[in-house]
Amino acid sequence: MKRIGLTLAAVLMAAGTAAAQVAAPSLNPTPIVFGPPGNPASIVWASPSRVAANVGRTTVDAPNNVRVASGTGRSVLGGFVGEHVAFAAAEQRVRLDADPTVGTGSLELTGVNVLGAVQFKQFVSLGLDRERSSVLDSTPAGNSVVQEERLTAVGFTLRLANIFYIGGAGGTVDFTKEPNHFKRNLRREGVALYHLGKGGSVHLEVYHESKEAAGTIDDGTDTRGISAEAIWRSALVSYTARRVDSTDNSGVATKSQDIASLSLGWVPESGLAVTITAGGIVEHDPAGAETSHFRSREVGVAWMF
């Protein structure tokens, strides 16, 4: 169960639920569990302001569809976008209970982030982000915090010819896995085509993220991903996918993950938006053999104003 919790904690920290994307903001107004990495500077280009929430179910299977754990999750998000400034905050929580056939106990994962951004002359934006994720392991013997990460990051975006965006973010992660404590660097960069229109909107993005290893305690990661989203007459289609390769502090490969989410929904320019999302993580060992499969099914709502 602890290994499962550490996998999901890394995804929660990467997701940046309030920021959504690296170069330009997501067209999906609701947060999702397996969402892509974020950049605080990108939210200033989002429109309109919103409050949102989602609920869902997550399952974890070993090879041959052996159920290991299952549980529920929820996210809440609030974002204000003004003429020159934007603020957002989000909280995400997932609880997993071990399947009775494999053991007892549960894991509770939480992720919180607060961020703000400012833009100048519709050309450049700057942002600041604070994030925290933790894993609480509960067994009949008691509760213990397995892992905690705190991120402080700054970011920027450049808007070119009204539809092309370049973005980057970097920061320091305080990583605690008792009794060990490390500081490590994280970097994200991306490019996007992003257009908001009354008849339709589009968002296409490619991005990269790298995170240093925490000594011999936690792996470093290298992530490459894409996002493809469109809204036509309020109908949303949103797809994100990324590959995460993990290495130890000596550069030796330890595992890889393929992470993807597909969202469909109704997203008007204002008023009530509704989305449904299916997401998953397929984890492999260095030889390429599948070791676990995470699945999520979520329903989200947002009020756009």
Task: Write phi, then psi, for 80 (nearest 5 degrees).
Answer: -115, 130
pLDDT at 17: 54
- pLDDT confidence of residue 211: 92
Q: Which helix (H) or strand (E) holds 10?
A: helix 2-15
Nearest residue to 135 (alpha-carbon basis) of 289, 14, 2 = 2
Inform me whether the pLDDT recorded for 273 exceeds 90.
yes
Q: Output the CA–CA distances (angstroms, integers) from residue 75 to 34, 111, 112, in the order listed.
A: 12, 9, 10
Given this model, what pLDDT does residue 145 score?
A: 62
- C-alpha torsion angle, residues 133, 36, 55, 273 (rounded to 10): 130
2-304 has which CATH code? 2.40.160.60
pLDDT of residue 45: 93
Indicate the domain borders of the chain.
2-304
pLDDT at position 141 over 80: no
Tens of pLDDT, residue by residue over 43-80, are 999 888 999 999 999 999 888 888 888 999 899 999 99
Amino acid present at 291: T
Q: Using alpha carbons only, give the angle 91, 97, 101 rounded to the nearest 5 degrees.
A: 160
The pLDDT score that the predictor gives to residue 4 is: 55
Which pLDDT score is estimated for 8?
56
Give the chain's end-to-end CA distance (angstroms, integer).
41
pLDDT in tens, 206-221: 999 999 988 777 888 9
Tokens 């290991």 sit on residue: 68
Q: What is the pTM of this model?
A: 0.90
- At 20, the pLDDT band (50, 70, 90 cuts) reads low
Structure confidence at residue 215 (pLDDT): 77
- Residue recorded with tokens 């951004």: 117
Reference 18, options 135, 123, 155, 165; nearest CA is 155
Arithmetic mean of pLDDT over the chain: 88
